[in-house]
Amino acid sequence: MIRTGMGYDVHRLVAGRPLVLGGVTIPFERGEDGHSDGDALLHAITDALLGASGQGDIGELFPPNDERWRDANSAGLLKSAWLKIAAAGWNIENIDCVVALERPKFLPWRPAVRKSIAETLGIGIDQVFVKAKTGERMGPVGTGDAVEVWAVCLISRQ
Ligand code: MG
C-alpha cells in the first residue's frame, strides 16, 4: 500500500529569533516567529507524514497553546510524530520540499539540511530533497517578512 501526503507552513520572519530550517540554524539577522523554534520546513514535513498516514496534524499533536511546546525543538516533534506513524507499519519512500525564502541564500545550506532531516527520520539522504525559491521580491516572502514551505511525501507499508 502506498500513500502520499502534503504539508504547508508559513512563518513570519522577525528580528531576535533564530532562522531554523530542517533542524539547521542558519546565521541571519531575522528568524521565524512562532511558539516552537518555528522550523517551517520540519513543520511542513511533519504535516505531510501525518496526513499521509491519516494520523492527524501537527496542531492536533502539539497544540500551540500548550506550554509544553514553547520554543520546542521541531526535530523532536517530527521524530515523535514519525515514531507514531512508523509504529503503524509505515516506511518513508521519499520526501520532497520547496522552501520560499528571499534571503539568505538557502542553497549553500541544502546538504546540511538534507542530512539533518534524513538523520531525524532514520532514512537516506537520497530520500530527502529540498528546493529553494525566492518570492521574486513580491508578497511577504519577497519582502523578506516570511518563509513559506511546501512538502510532499510518499509512504508505504506491506
Ligand atoms: Mg509552523
CB burial of 147-156 (b: ≥16 within 10 Å; e: otherwise) equals bbbbbbbbbe
* Mean local confidence (pLDDT), 106-113: 98
Give me the torsion for CA of 16, 100, 50, 54, rounded to 10°.
140
- Integer-rounded Cα Rg, in Å, for the chain is 15
Which cell numbers hold the place of 149?
514551505
Q: How much is the pTM? A: 0.96
CA of 10 relative to ligand 1 center, distance in Å: 6
Q: Name the average pLDDT for the chain.
A: 95
CA of 65 relative to ligand 1 center, distance in Å: 13
CA of 71 relative to ligand 1 center, distance in Å: 11
Domains, in order of start, for the chain: 2-156 (3.30.1330.50)
Report pLDDT for 109. 98
Report pLDDT for 81. 96
CA of 132 relative to ligand 1 center, distance in Å: 18
Query: What band does 34 get if pLDDT is binned at 50, 70 and 90?
Result: confident
Q: What is the pLDDT of residues 35-94, one digit of tens each?
A: 888 999 999 999 999 999 999 999 898 887 888 877 789 999 999 999 999 999 999 999
Q: Is residue 6 over pLDDT 90?
A: yes
CA of 32 relative to ligand 1 center, distance in Å: 9
CA of 94 relative to ligand 1 center, distance in Å: 21
